[in-house]
């Protein structure tokens, strides 16, 4: 079974505007690591927003992890999002909560018991390399560390898919690479990863499947791709 | 079973988050609570005033009767016929016959401190007429009785003009009017202040949503359910209602303890403070429960609408 299936998906934001995505078709297998590249405004963010159901497509079919979005009701969206881990360029951490509490938050909202939270949070923080920083506040961390907290939060519920929208966009090269290594590790554990980035160096170093989006269309899709900016 | 446990945990967290928000927004909450206290106090006063006036009316109604004075030469048969026919009228509650002797004794008793009057009355034959005390079901509906008493065969038996307790009726009318006025005024007040309360709470929640929009957005993106996000706001405003209800009952309590010592439970014009106090004390728990229920409903309804209006959960098309 495919993890992600897009069949001729289009998204038009306003009447008379050119489409942000134009009849895109895409297949992603389970456990794949896919990088989506393209200049800003190419349609990368729109693609991810369609996958997390922040936006609805104007036309076309989306199936993620066996869930057909056409049959998804508004009130079922939270349950969809619980099955997809999401990481954002601006981290989206809660500034008044500690590292531990930020990660625990993702578990609290779905009704995970306290014991399970106390068991899970230190383990995911260990995976992202933040063991021992549980009590820090987000402000006390570097950008790279903050993004790793966000990744820990995204994987705490063990999603089948992790979507990372420009997670390295605000980071210097060293921290950016740390974050990518964490994503690689998570992929090795069996999670499908969808990463969007601008960063040529990362793309070329990773040697994974690269999908290039240009003007809302897929310009290329290469198994071990490179990106020339 | 597991999903039920999860639901319980989520419920607990919603309540906890609501309580925490309440404490955090203490100053913002204060205004909402204050106006809710006013609303609930008006509700409470209206209810007590209504009960008090109704009681006063009932008391006066009970004292009202129509006195029919009989000529001295009316025979027992004639008297009995009159009593029976009067009793059979639909608007009549009861008919009591007061003989000349009973009337005299009552007169003596009523005037036992007035020696001159007692002497005067003992020096003549009993001048007081026998009478029928007719109690109507409703003092405002004396028409049937009047027609009956005005019939020539009945009129012939009567000595003096029948007393319809005119002055008492006037008092009743006054109280009825006051009750109506207070009820209508109370209702208008309740409506106005309920609307104000709801608007203020609505606005308080709107500001709270605005202040925490980043956090709420993160919750939404992480897959928090609608109720996990909305619930705490509604719990918070239910707490406003709970606290406002308790304060309003305490205010009423304090006012009664002050007024009943100051006026020694006397009547203040038409308002029988003694009865009002008694009513309040006797219905204390039901009043408190009702106030809390009203407060919680007002609070919950306002934040229900505010969260529905300002928290967007649908994905954009």
The interface predicted TM-score (ipTM) is 0.87
Tokens of B36: 């809710």
pLDDT at B265 (0 to 100): 45
Residues of A in contact with B218 (CB under 8 A): 92-94
Gap between the Cα atoms of A4 and A63, Å rounded:
6
CATH class for the domain made up of B65-164: alpha beta
Q: Which residue has the tokens 């609290």?
A: A108
For the cut 60, the answer to whether the pLDDT of residue B268 exceeds it is no
For the cut 80, the answer to whether the pLDDT of residue B122 exceeds it is no
Cα B139 to Cα A71, B133, B144, B169, B269, distances in angstroms:
70, 13, 12, 7, 22
- Helix crossing, A173-188 with A114-127: angle to 10°? 120
Gap between the Cα atoms of B288 and B44, Å rounded:
10
Tokens of B165: 């307790």
Beta strand A4-11 pairing with A21-28: antiparallel
Q: What is the mean pLDDT of chain A?
A: 91
pLDDT at B166 (0 to 100): 52
Q: What is the DSSP letter of B17?
A: H
Rounded average pLDDT over B126-138: 82
Chain B closest CA to A62's CA: distance in Å? 14
Residues of A in contact with B224 (CB under 8 A): 78, 109
List the domain boundaries for chain B.
2-60+171-310, 65-164
pLDDT at B185 (0 to 100): 83
Rounded average pLDDT over B297-309: 92
Cα–chain center distance at A156 = 14
For the cut 70, the answer to whether the pLDDT of residue A3 exceeds it is yes
pLDDT at B85 (0 to 100): 86
For the cut 70, the answer to whether the pLDDT of residue A12 exceeds it is yes
List the domain boundaries for chain A.
1-83+160-229, 93-158
Q: Which residue has the tokens 């969007």?
A: A196
Tokens of B217: 């957005």
Gap between the Cα atoms of A94 and A102, Å rounded:
6
Give the model confidence (pLDDT) of A155-193 as tens digits. 999 999 999 999 998 888 888 998 999 999 999 999 999
Give the model confidence (pLDDT) of B69-116 as tens digits. 888 888 888 888 888 888 888 888 888 888 888 888 888 888 878 878
CATH architecture entry for A1-83+160-229:
3-Layer(aba) Sandwich (3.40)
Rounded average pLDDT over A38-46: 86
User: From the list A55, A86, A153, which residue is nearest B315 (CB)?
Assistant: A55
User: From the list A58, A86, A111, which residue is nearest B221 (CB)?
Assistant: A86
Residues B13, B17, B18, CA angle at the centre, nearest 5°?
Answer: 120
Gap between the Cα atoms of A128 and A186, Å rounded:
9
Of residues A35 and B66, the one with the higher pLDDT is A35
Residues B214, B218, B219, CA angle at the centre, nearest 5°?
Answer: 115
Gap between the Cα atoms of B21 and B19, Å rounded:
5
pLDDT at B263 (0 to 100): 58
Chain A closest CA to B267's CA: distance in Å? 59
pLDDT at A123 (0 to 100): 94
Gap between the Cα atoms of B53 and A3, Å rounded:
74
Task: Return the minimum-mean-pLDDT range out of A181-195, B7-21, B48-62, B272-286.
Answer: B48-62
Of residues B160 and B184, the one with the higher pLDDT is B184
Gap between the Cα atoms of B70 and B131, Å rounded:
5
User: From the list A56, A77, A109, which residue is nearest B228 (CB)?
Assistant: A109
pLDDT at B260 (0 to 100): 66
C-beta separation of A99 from A68 below 8 A: no
* Closest to B234 (Cα-Cα) out of B172, B182, B307: B307
Share of chain B above pLDDT 90, in %: 22
Rounded average pLDDT over B287-311: 93
Q: What is the DSSP letter of B206?
A: H
Coil/strand/helix, residue A158 = coil
Give the model confidence (pLDDT) of A131-141 as tens digits. 999 999 999 99
* Closest to B301 (Cα-Cα) out of B202, B211, B212, B227: B202
- Choose from A53, A82, A96, A111 for mutation: most chain B CBs within 10 A: A111
pLDDT at B187 (0 to 100): 86
Of residues B271 and A45, the one with the higher pLDDT is A45
């Amino acid at each position: 079974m495919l993890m992600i299936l897009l069949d001729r998906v289009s998204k038009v934001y306003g009447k008379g505007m050119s489409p942000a995505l134009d009849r895109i078709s895409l297949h992603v297998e389970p456990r794949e690591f896919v990088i989506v590249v393209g200049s800003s405004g190419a349609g990368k963010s729109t693609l991810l927003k369609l996958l997390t159901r922040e936006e609805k497509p104007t036309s076309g079919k989306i199936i993620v992890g066996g869930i057909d979005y056409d049959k998804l009701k508004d009130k079922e969206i939270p349950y969809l999002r619980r099955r997809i881990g999401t990481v954002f360029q601006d981290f989206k951490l809660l500034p008044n909560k500690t590292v531990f509490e930020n990660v625990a938050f993702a578990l609290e909202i779905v009704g995970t018991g306290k014991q399970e939270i106390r068991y899970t949070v230190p383990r995911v923080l260990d995976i992202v390399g933040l063991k021992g920083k549980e009590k820090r506040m987000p402000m006390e961390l570097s950008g790279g560390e903050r993004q790793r907290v966000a990744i820990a939060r995204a994987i705490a519920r063990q999603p089948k898919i992790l979507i990372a929208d420009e997670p390295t966009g605000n980071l210097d090269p060293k921290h950016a690479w740390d974050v990518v290594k964490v994503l690689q590790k998570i992929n090795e554990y069996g999670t499908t990863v969808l990463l969007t980035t601008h960063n040529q160096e990362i793309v070329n170093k990773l040697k994974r499947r690269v999908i290039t989006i240009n003007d809302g269309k897929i310009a290329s899709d290469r198994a071990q791709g490179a990106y020339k900016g | 079973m597991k999903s039920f446990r999860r639901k319980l945990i989520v419920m607990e967290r919603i309540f906890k988050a609501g309580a925490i928000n309440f404490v955090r927004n203490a100053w913002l909450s204060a205004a909402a609570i204050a106006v809710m206290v006013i609303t609930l106090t008006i509700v409470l006063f209206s209810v007590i005033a209504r009960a008090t006036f109704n009681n006063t009316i009932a008391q006066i109604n009970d004292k009202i009767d129509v006195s029919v004075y009989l000529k001295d030469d009316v025979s027992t048969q004639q008297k009995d016929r009159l009593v029976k026919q009067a009793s059979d009228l639909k608007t009549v509650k009861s008919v009591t016959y007061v003989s000349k002797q009973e009337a005299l004794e009552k007169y003596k008793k009523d005037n036992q401190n007035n020696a001159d009057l007692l002497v005067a009355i003992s020096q003549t034959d009993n001048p007081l007429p026998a009478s029928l005390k007719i109690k109507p079901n409703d003092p405002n509906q004396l028409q049937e009785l009047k027609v009956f008493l005005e019939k020539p065969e009945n009129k012939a038996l009567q000595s003096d003009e029948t007393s319809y307790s005119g002055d008492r009726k006037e008092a009743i009318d006054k109280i009825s009017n006051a009750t109506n006025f207070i009820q209508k005024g109370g209702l208008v007040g309740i409506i106005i202040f309920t609307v104000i309360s709801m608007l203020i709470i609505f606005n308080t929640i709107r500001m709270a949503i605005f202040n925490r929009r980043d956090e709420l957005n993160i919750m939404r993106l992480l897959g928090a359910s609608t109720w996990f996000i909305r619930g705490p706001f509604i719990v918070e405003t239910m707490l406003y209602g709970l606290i406002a209800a308790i304060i309003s009952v305490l205010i009423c309590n304090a006012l009664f303890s002050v007024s009943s010592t100051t006026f020694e439970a006397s009547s203040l014009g038409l308002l029988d403070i003694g009865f009002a106090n008694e009513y309040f004390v006797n219905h204390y728990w039901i009043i408190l429960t009702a106030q809390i229920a009203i407060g919680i409903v007002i609070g919950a309804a306002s934040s229900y609408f505010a969260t529905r209006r300002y928290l967007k959960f649908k994905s954009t098309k």
